[in-house]
Amino acid sequence: MFSFSHQNTPIKFRDLISFSPNDVDIFVPDVRRAIGAEIAILSTCNRTEFYFYGDPNLAWGGVKDFVSGTKQIDASQIPTPRGELGRDAARHLFRVASSMESVALGEDQILVQVKDVHRQILGHTSKSPVLDRLYQFAIRTGKRVRTETSLCEGAVSISSASVTLAKRIFGSFEKLEIALVGAGETCESAAEHFKANHANRFVVVNRGEERGNALAEKYQGTYRPLNELLNSCRTADVMVFATGATEHLLKAKDLKPIMKQRGYRPLFLIDISNPRNIDPEIAKVSGVYLYNIDDLQEVIRDNLTSRQAEIPKAEIIIESMLDEWEAWLRTIRVRPTIANLAQFFETLRKQELASLENKISESEMDLLEQFSKKLTKKMLHNPIQYLRDSVEENSLKPGDVELVSRLFDLQKYDSHE
Protein backbone atom coordinates (compact mmCIF):
# COMPACT_ATOMS: atom_id res chain seq x y z
CA MET A 1 0.00 0.00 0.00
CA PHE A 2 1.20 3.50 -0.89
CA SER A 3 -0.71 6.34 0.78
CA PHE A 4 -0.96 10.09 0.28
CA SER A 5 -3.27 11.56 2.93
CA HIS A 6 -3.93 14.56 5.15
CA GLN A 7 -1.53 12.91 7.61
CA ASN A 8 1.56 13.01 5.38
CA THR A 9 0.84 15.08 2.26
CA PRO A 10 -0.05 18.81 1.96
CA ILE A 11 -3.32 19.54 0.21
CA LYS A 12 -1.65 21.10 -2.86
CA PHE A 13 0.05 17.76 -3.57
CA ARG A 14 -3.10 15.77 -2.81
CA ASP A 15 -4.80 17.86 -5.49
CA LEU A 16 -2.14 16.82 -8.01
CA ILE A 17 -2.56 13.08 -7.50
CA SER A 18 -6.30 12.87 -6.93
CA PHE A 19 -7.67 10.03 -9.09
CA SER A 20 -11.05 10.32 -10.79
CA PRO A 21 -12.87 7.12 -11.94
CA ASN A 22 -11.59 7.88 -15.45
CA ASP A 23 -8.01 8.11 -14.16
CA VAL A 24 -8.47 4.72 -12.49
CA ASP A 25 -9.73 3.20 -15.75
CA ILE A 26 -6.60 4.43 -17.53
CA PHE A 27 -4.10 3.60 -14.78
CA VAL A 28 -5.16 0.09 -13.75
CA PRO A 29 -4.84 -1.76 -17.10
CA ASP A 30 -1.55 -0.04 -17.99
CA VAL A 31 0.13 -0.81 -14.68
CA ARG A 32 -1.33 -4.30 -14.49
CA ARG A 33 0.18 -5.16 -17.86
CA ALA A 34 3.53 -3.70 -16.80
CA ILE A 35 3.94 -5.27 -13.37
CA GLY A 36 1.42 -8.11 -13.36
CA ALA A 37 -0.15 -7.20 -10.02
CA GLU A 38 -3.71 -6.74 -8.83
CA ILE A 39 -4.44 -3.04 -8.27
CA ALA A 40 -7.04 -0.95 -6.41
CA ILE A 41 -7.10 2.83 -5.89
CA LEU A 42 -8.93 4.64 -3.09
CA SER A 43 -9.17 8.38 -3.78
CA THR A 44 -11.26 10.63 -1.52
CA CYS A 45 -11.21 14.26 -0.40
CA ASN A 46 -8.50 13.40 2.14
CA ARG A 47 -6.44 10.66 0.52
CA THR A 48 -5.25 8.84 -2.58
CA GLU A 49 -4.02 5.33 -1.89
CA PHE A 50 -2.73 2.55 -4.12
CA TYR A 51 -3.14 -1.11 -3.12
CA PHE A 52 -1.25 -3.89 -4.92
CA TYR A 53 -1.22 -7.66 -4.62
CA GLY A 54 1.64 -9.41 -6.39
CA ASP A 55 5.36 -8.72 -6.29
CA PRO A 56 6.38 -8.18 -2.61
CA ASN A 57 9.43 -6.24 -3.77
CA LEU A 58 7.37 -3.63 -5.60
CA ALA A 59 8.63 -0.16 -4.66
CA TRP A 60 7.09 3.27 -5.21
CA GLY A 61 9.70 3.94 -7.87
CA GLY A 62 8.10 1.22 -9.99
CA VAL A 63 4.74 2.99 -9.83
CA LYS A 64 5.61 6.68 -9.75
CA ASP A 65 6.10 7.16 -13.50
CA PHE A 66 2.70 5.59 -14.22
CA VAL A 67 1.08 8.02 -11.75
CA SER A 68 2.81 11.01 -13.35
CA GLY A 69 1.81 9.76 -16.80
CA THR A 70 -1.84 9.30 -15.86
CA LYS A 71 -2.04 12.67 -14.14
CA GLN A 72 0.22 14.35 -16.73
CA ILE A 73 2.49 15.91 -14.13
CA ASP A 74 6.24 15.93 -13.61
CA ALA A 75 7.26 12.88 -11.55
CA SER A 76 9.54 15.11 -9.47
CA GLN A 77 6.43 16.95 -8.20
CA ILE A 78 5.11 13.81 -6.51
CA PRO A 79 6.18 13.49 -2.87
CA THR A 80 7.13 10.20 -1.23
CA PRO A 81 4.08 8.33 0.08
CA ARG A 82 3.68 6.28 3.21
CA GLY A 83 4.27 2.62 2.34
CA GLU A 84 3.09 -0.53 4.10
CA LEU A 85 3.48 -4.23 3.30
CA GLY A 86 1.56 -7.40 4.15
CA ARG A 87 -0.46 -7.33 7.37
CA ASP A 88 0.43 -3.66 7.95
CA ALA A 89 -1.01 -2.72 4.55
CA ALA A 90 -4.23 -4.63 5.26
CA ARG A 91 -4.41 -3.09 8.75
CA HIS A 92 -4.20 0.39 7.24
CA LEU A 93 -7.12 -0.30 4.88
CA PHE A 94 -9.20 -1.79 7.73
CA ARG A 95 -8.48 1.33 9.83
CA VAL A 96 -9.47 3.55 6.90
CA ALA A 97 -12.75 1.65 6.42
CA SER A 98 -13.38 1.97 10.17
CA SER A 99 -12.89 5.76 9.94
CA MET A 100 -9.90 5.66 12.27
CA GLU A 101 -7.68 7.36 9.71
CA SER A 102 -10.20 10.05 8.75
CA VAL A 103 -9.93 13.75 9.50
CA ALA A 104 -13.26 13.32 11.29
CA LEU A 105 -12.85 10.23 13.49
CA GLY A 106 -15.95 8.06 13.16
CA GLU A 107 -17.42 9.67 10.04
CA ASP A 108 -19.52 7.42 7.79
CA GLN A 109 -18.72 8.61 4.28
CA ILE A 110 -15.42 6.73 4.04
CA LEU A 111 -17.10 3.31 4.26
CA VAL A 112 -19.29 4.26 1.29
CA GLN A 113 -16.14 5.22 -0.61
CA VAL A 114 -14.44 1.89 0.24
CA LYS A 115 -17.54 0.12 -1.10
CA ASP A 116 -17.25 2.18 -4.29
CA VAL A 117 -13.66 0.95 -4.76
CA HIS A 118 -14.83 -2.64 -4.29
CA ARG A 119 -17.41 -2.12 -7.05
CA GLN A 120 -14.65 -0.75 -9.28
CA ILE A 121 -12.55 -3.86 -8.62
CA LEU A 122 -15.46 -6.10 -9.61
CA GLY A 123 -16.08 -4.00 -12.72
CA HIS A 124 -12.57 -4.24 -14.14
CA THR A 125 -12.01 -6.62 -17.06
CA SER A 126 -8.95 -8.11 -15.35
CA LYS A 127 -10.11 -9.86 -12.20
CA SER A 128 -8.44 -9.21 -8.85
CA PRO A 129 -9.62 -12.04 -6.59
CA VAL A 130 -7.29 -11.24 -3.67
CA LEU A 131 -8.02 -7.50 -3.55
CA ASP A 132 -11.70 -8.30 -4.09
CA ARG A 133 -11.61 -10.38 -0.91
CA LEU A 134 -9.41 -7.84 0.92
CA TYR A 135 -11.99 -5.10 0.34
CA GLN A 136 -14.78 -7.43 1.43
CA PHE A 137 -12.90 -7.90 4.71
CA ALA A 138 -12.36 -4.13 4.99
CA ILE A 139 -16.08 -3.46 4.54
CA ARG A 140 -16.96 -6.11 7.13
CA THR A 141 -14.46 -4.51 9.52
CA GLY A 142 -15.93 -1.05 9.01
CA LYS A 143 -19.45 -2.36 9.67
CA ARG A 144 -18.38 -4.22 12.83
CA VAL A 145 -16.66 -1.14 14.25
CA ARG A 146 -19.80 0.89 13.61
CA THR A 147 -22.18 -1.65 15.18
CA GLU A 148 -20.05 -3.03 18.01
CA THR A 149 -18.55 0.24 19.28
CA SER A 150 -19.73 3.82 19.80
CA LEU A 151 -16.89 5.22 17.72
CA CYS A 152 -19.22 6.73 15.14
CA GLU A 153 -21.89 8.00 17.51
CA GLY A 154 -22.01 11.78 17.53
CA ALA A 155 -19.16 11.99 15.03
CA VAL A 156 -18.56 15.29 13.29
CA SER A 157 -18.45 14.96 9.51
CA ILE A 158 -16.67 17.28 7.08
CA SER A 159 -20.07 18.71 6.15
CA SER A 160 -21.16 19.40 9.73
CA ALA A 161 -17.75 20.90 10.55
CA SER A 162 -18.26 23.29 7.64
CA VAL A 163 -21.55 24.47 9.12
CA THR A 164 -19.98 24.89 12.57
CA LEU A 165 -17.22 27.03 11.09
CA ALA A 166 -19.70 29.17 9.13
CA LYS A 167 -21.77 29.67 12.26
CA ARG A 168 -18.73 31.14 14.04
CA ILE A 169 -18.64 33.88 11.42
CA PHE A 170 -22.34 34.58 10.78
CA GLY A 171 -23.99 33.44 14.01
CA SER A 172 -27.34 32.77 12.33
CA PHE A 173 -28.28 31.47 8.88
CA GLU A 174 -31.95 32.47 8.84
CA LYS A 175 -31.50 35.43 6.46
CA LEU A 176 -28.53 34.03 4.48
CA GLU A 177 -28.40 32.44 1.06
CA ILE A 178 -26.58 29.08 1.05
CA ALA A 179 -25.21 27.99 -2.32
CA LEU A 180 -24.29 24.33 -2.82
CA VAL A 181 -21.94 23.81 -5.74
CA GLY A 182 -22.40 20.14 -6.54
CA ALA A 183 -25.33 17.82 -5.89
CA GLY A 184 -23.68 14.72 -4.44
CA GLU A 185 -23.87 13.21 -0.97
CA THR A 186 -21.46 15.75 0.55
CA CYS A 187 -23.52 18.76 -0.54
CA GLU A 188 -26.73 17.05 0.51
CA SER A 189 -25.24 16.37 3.93
CA ALA A 190 -24.16 20.01 4.20
CA ALA A 191 -27.66 21.16 3.26
CA GLU A 192 -29.12 18.95 5.98
CA HIS A 193 -26.82 20.47 8.61
CA PHE A 194 -27.52 24.04 7.44
CA LYS A 195 -31.25 23.36 7.54
CA ALA A 196 -30.94 21.97 11.08
CA ASN A 197 -29.35 25.32 11.97
CA HIS A 198 -32.34 27.26 10.55
CA ALA A 199 -31.07 28.02 7.04
CA ASN A 200 -34.01 28.30 4.63
CA ARG A 201 -32.64 29.85 1.41
CA PHE A 202 -30.79 27.35 -0.77
CA VAL A 203 -29.35 27.53 -4.28
CA VAL A 204 -27.93 24.40 -5.96
CA VAL A 205 -25.37 24.99 -8.70
CA ASN A 206 -24.66 21.81 -10.64
CA ARG A 207 -23.54 20.68 -14.09
CA GLY A 208 -26.30 18.06 -14.31
CA GLU A 209 -29.79 19.58 -14.30
CA GLU A 210 -31.73 16.51 -13.16
CA ARG A 211 -29.66 15.85 -10.06
CA GLY A 212 -29.30 19.56 -9.29
CA ASN A 213 -33.05 20.12 -9.53
CA ALA A 214 -33.74 17.12 -7.29
CA LEU A 215 -31.52 18.46 -4.51
CA ALA A 216 -32.90 22.00 -4.86
CA GLU A 217 -36.50 20.76 -4.64
CA LYS A 218 -35.70 18.70 -1.54
CA TYR A 219 -34.75 21.90 0.31
CA GLN A 220 -37.26 24.22 -1.40
CA GLY A 221 -34.40 25.94 -3.16
CA THR A 222 -33.43 27.10 -6.65
CA TYR A 223 -31.39 25.26 -9.26
CA ARG A 224 -28.80 27.00 -11.45
CA PRO A 225 -26.57 25.45 -14.11
CA LEU A 226 -22.82 25.54 -13.55
CA ASN A 227 -22.35 28.33 -16.11
CA GLU A 228 -24.24 30.62 -13.71
CA LEU A 229 -21.75 30.06 -10.89
CA LEU A 230 -20.55 33.68 -10.92
CA ASN A 231 -24.13 34.94 -10.67
CA SER A 232 -24.51 32.85 -7.55
CA CYS A 233 -21.41 34.50 -6.13
CA ARG A 234 -23.20 37.84 -6.40
CA THR A 235 -26.06 36.82 -4.13
CA ALA A 236 -24.78 34.03 -1.87
CA ASP A 237 -23.49 34.44 1.67
CA VAL A 238 -22.13 30.92 2.08
CA MET A 239 -20.94 28.62 -0.74
CA VAL A 240 -20.00 24.97 -0.30
CA PHE A 241 -18.02 23.40 -3.15
CA ALA A 242 -18.01 19.60 -3.45
CA THR A 243 -17.81 18.46 -7.07
CA GLY A 244 -15.80 16.00 -9.13
CA ALA A 245 -14.32 18.77 -11.30
CA THR A 246 -10.59 18.50 -11.86
CA GLU A 247 -10.01 22.22 -12.36
CA HIS A 248 -10.66 25.44 -10.44
CA LEU A 249 -14.28 26.46 -10.95
CA LEU A 250 -13.80 29.79 -9.20
CA LYS A 251 -10.77 31.99 -9.81
CA ALA A 252 -9.52 35.14 -8.09
CA LYS A 253 -9.62 37.28 -11.25
CA ASP A 254 -13.32 36.48 -11.72
CA LEU A 255 -14.30 37.03 -8.09
CA LYS A 256 -12.56 40.39 -7.52
CA PRO A 257 -15.04 42.51 -9.54
CA ILE A 258 -17.98 40.61 -8.01
CA MET A 259 -16.80 41.36 -4.48
CA LYS A 260 -16.55 45.03 -5.42
CA GLN A 261 -20.16 44.92 -6.70
CA ARG A 262 -21.20 43.29 -3.39
CA GLY A 263 -19.61 46.18 -1.48
CA TYR A 264 -17.24 43.60 0.01
CA ARG A 265 -20.07 42.01 1.93
CA PRO A 266 -18.59 38.83 3.51
CA LEU A 267 -18.58 35.70 1.35
CA PHE A 268 -17.82 32.44 3.15
CA LEU A 269 -16.36 29.76 0.82
CA ILE A 270 -15.88 26.13 1.87
CA ASP A 271 -13.96 23.94 -0.58
CA ILE A 272 -14.23 20.26 0.33
CA SER A 273 -13.56 18.97 -3.17
CA ASN A 274 -10.67 16.78 -4.21
CA PRO A 275 -8.91 18.23 -6.08
CA ARG A 276 -9.90 21.71 -4.88
CA ASN A 277 -12.44 23.64 -6.94
CA ILE A 278 -11.47 27.11 -5.69
CA ASP A 279 -8.27 28.94 -6.61
CA PRO A 280 -6.33 29.34 -3.31
CA GLU A 281 -5.46 32.91 -4.38
CA ILE A 282 -9.08 33.82 -3.69
CA ALA A 283 -8.23 33.88 0.02
CA LYS A 284 -6.44 37.20 -0.65
CA VAL A 285 -9.58 38.87 -2.06
CA SER A 286 -11.09 41.38 0.34
CA GLY A 287 -14.25 40.18 2.07
CA VAL A 288 -13.70 36.50 1.24
CA TYR A 289 -13.29 33.80 3.88
CA LEU A 290 -11.91 30.66 2.21
CA TYR A 291 -11.56 27.34 4.02
CA ASN A 292 -10.56 23.87 2.79
CA ILE A 293 -10.56 20.39 4.31
CA ASP A 294 -7.37 20.92 6.28
CA ASP A 295 -8.79 24.09 7.85
CA LEU A 296 -11.71 22.11 9.29
CA GLN A 297 -9.51 19.87 11.42
CA GLU A 298 -9.61 22.19 14.45
CA VAL A 299 -13.41 22.07 14.52
CA ILE A 300 -13.34 18.30 14.21
CA ARG A 301 -10.74 17.81 16.94
CA ASP A 302 -13.04 19.53 19.45
CA ASN A 303 -15.50 16.66 19.00
CA LEU A 304 -13.03 13.80 19.53
CA THR A 305 -12.92 13.38 23.30
CA SER A 306 -16.22 11.55 23.71
CA ARG A 307 -15.24 8.88 21.17
CA GLN A 308 -11.57 8.32 21.94
CA ALA A 309 -12.40 5.73 24.60
CA GLU A 310 -13.84 3.56 21.82
CA ILE A 311 -10.56 3.38 19.88
CA PRO A 312 -9.12 0.38 21.83
CA LYS A 313 -12.36 -1.57 21.19
CA ALA A 314 -12.15 -0.80 17.48
CA GLU A 315 -8.51 -1.87 17.37
CA ILE A 316 -9.38 -5.26 18.89
CA ILE A 317 -11.97 -5.78 16.15
CA ILE A 318 -9.45 -4.78 13.48
CA GLU A 319 -6.80 -7.21 14.77
CA SER A 320 -9.38 -10.00 14.91
CA MET A 321 -10.40 -9.31 11.31
CA LEU A 322 -6.74 -9.23 10.29
CA ASP A 323 -6.30 -12.72 11.74
CA GLU A 324 -9.27 -13.92 9.66
CA TRP A 325 -7.88 -12.19 6.58
CA GLU A 326 -4.46 -13.79 6.93
CA ALA A 327 -6.03 -17.21 7.49
CA TRP A 328 -7.97 -16.79 4.24
CA LEU A 329 -4.86 -15.53 2.45
CA ARG A 330 -2.91 -18.64 3.42
CA THR A 331 -5.55 -20.84 1.78
CA ILE A 332 -4.35 -19.53 -1.59
CA ARG A 333 -1.28 -21.73 -1.19
CA VAL A 334 -3.35 -24.95 -1.32
CA ARG A 335 -6.19 -23.98 -3.64
CA PRO A 336 -4.48 -25.22 -6.84
CA THR A 337 -3.66 -28.54 -5.13
CA ILE A 338 -7.25 -28.94 -3.89
CA ALA A 339 -8.63 -28.13 -7.34
CA ASN A 340 -6.25 -30.57 -9.03
CA LEU A 341 -7.01 -33.28 -6.48
CA ALA A 342 -10.74 -32.88 -7.13
CA GLN A 343 -10.11 -33.04 -10.86
CA PHE A 344 -8.01 -36.21 -10.45
CA PHE A 345 -10.83 -38.05 -8.65
CA GLU A 346 -13.47 -36.71 -11.04
CA THR A 347 -11.49 -37.94 -14.03
CA LEU A 348 -11.14 -41.43 -12.52
CA ARG A 349 -14.84 -41.50 -11.70
CA LYS A 350 -15.87 -40.63 -15.25
CA GLN A 351 -13.38 -43.09 -16.77
CA GLU A 352 -14.75 -45.99 -14.74
CA LEU A 353 -18.34 -45.08 -15.57
CA ALA A 354 -17.47 -44.80 -19.26
CA SER A 355 -16.09 -48.35 -19.19
CA LEU A 356 -19.58 -49.62 -18.23
CA GLU A 357 -21.48 -47.89 -21.03
CA ASN A 358 -23.74 -50.29 -22.99
CA LYS A 359 -23.02 -53.01 -20.42
CA ILE A 360 -25.69 -52.09 -17.88
CA SER A 361 -29.13 -50.54 -18.03
CA GLU A 362 -29.79 -46.83 -17.99
CA SER A 363 -31.34 -47.03 -14.51
CA GLU A 364 -28.30 -48.91 -13.20
CA MET A 365 -26.02 -46.30 -14.75
CA ASP A 366 -27.97 -43.55 -12.99
CA LEU A 367 -27.55 -45.34 -9.66
CA LEU A 368 -23.81 -45.73 -10.25
CA GLU A 369 -23.55 -42.06 -11.19
CA GLN A 370 -25.09 -41.02 -7.88
CA PHE A 371 -23.08 -43.58 -5.92
CA SER A 372 -19.76 -42.57 -7.51
CA LYS A 373 -20.33 -38.88 -6.83
CA LYS A 374 -21.05 -39.54 -3.14
CA LEU A 375 -18.05 -41.87 -2.83
CA THR A 376 -15.71 -39.36 -4.50
CA LYS A 377 -16.93 -36.56 -2.25
CA LYS A 378 -16.30 -38.67 0.87
CA MET A 379 -12.83 -39.72 -0.30
CA LEU A 380 -11.89 -36.10 -0.93
CA HIS A 381 -13.23 -34.77 2.34
CA ASN A 382 -10.38 -35.67 4.72
CA PRO A 383 -7.39 -34.63 2.53
CA ILE A 384 -9.06 -31.36 1.52
CA GLN A 385 -10.08 -30.59 5.11
CA TYR A 386 -6.55 -31.32 6.29
CA LEU A 387 -5.05 -28.92 3.74
CA ARG A 388 -7.54 -26.16 4.54
CA ASP A 389 -7.27 -26.51 8.31
CA SER A 390 -3.48 -26.65 8.16
CA VAL A 391 -3.14 -23.40 6.26
CA GLU A 392 -5.77 -21.63 8.36
CA GLU A 393 -4.02 -22.71 11.55
CA ASN A 394 -0.63 -21.99 9.99
CA SER A 395 0.53 -25.54 10.73
CA LEU A 396 1.01 -26.81 7.17
CA LYS A 397 4.30 -28.67 6.87
CA PRO A 398 6.65 -27.61 4.05
CA GLY A 399 6.41 -30.96 2.22
CA ASP A 400 2.68 -31.62 2.62
CA VAL A 401 1.52 -30.01 -0.61
CA GLU A 402 4.32 -31.58 -2.63
CA LEU A 403 3.60 -35.02 -1.12
CA VAL A 404 -0.09 -34.86 -2.10
CA SER A 405 0.87 -33.73 -5.59
CA ARG A 406 3.34 -36.58 -6.05
CA LEU A 407 1.05 -39.25 -4.59
CA PHE A 408 -1.67 -38.51 -7.12
CA ASP A 409 0.54 -37.26 -9.97
CA LEU A 410 -1.30 -33.92 -9.98
CA GLN A 411 1.24 -32.06 -12.09
CA LYS A 412 -0.65 -32.98 -15.25
CA TYR A 413 -3.83 -31.25 -14.07
CA ASP A 414 -4.31 -27.54 -14.54
CA SER A 415 -6.07 -25.67 -11.75
CA HIS A 416 -8.79 -23.27 -12.85
CA GLU A 417 -8.64 -21.26 -9.66
Catalytic residues, which ones? Answer: 45
- Close Cβ partners of 263 (under 8 Å, ≥ 6 residues apart): none
